[in-house]
Structure 1
Amino acid sequence: MILAALLLGVIVGALLGLVGGGGSILAVPALVYGVGLPLEEAIPTSLIVVGAASAVAVLPRLRTGVNWRLAGIIGAAGIPTAYL
């Protein structure tokens, strides 16, 4: 199971890097069908996986490629509604 999770992590991470988003669309099926997690565990696990991958991916772009004003506006609207 650990080897399958590592392999799927590499594949999902590479695809996230190539397309720049949509990680949960890739991660949830990989966790359910590739690793065997139940859907109830795969969804929150994918949130952690995709969030961590996104945080690392933005690091090289922090100084030049982020529109901080727009990110703040979208984040301020999106964070509270994420609980819905």
Structure 2
Amino acid sequence: MIEKVYDDNMLSFKEKGLYTAIYLNETMNVDQLVESGKDKADAVRSGLKKLIEKQYIKKSVVREKNGNFVTVYYQVIE
């Protein structure tokens, strides 16, 4: 899959970099992704949105047993 992502001319370098960070770490949340680069949270979120739309990554919402939001993780789709 990683070759497909790198060959996708519709993805920016930023989006390919986000994919690589998630791929190498298996699972990451937005805060970890923002901390690992110099882009702001909005730029990271827009890149993640594109990767989700193209079905390269998936988004998993984590909630407590009572339903309260905890965090969102992003994982590579194999």
TM over 0.5: no
TM-score by length of 1: 0.37
Q: Which structure is larger by alpha-carbon Rg, 1 or 2?
A: 1
* Structure with the largest fraction of strand: 2
TM-score by length of 2: 0.39
Bigger relative CO (Cα 8 Å, ≥ 6 apart): 2
* Structure with the largest fraction of helix: 1
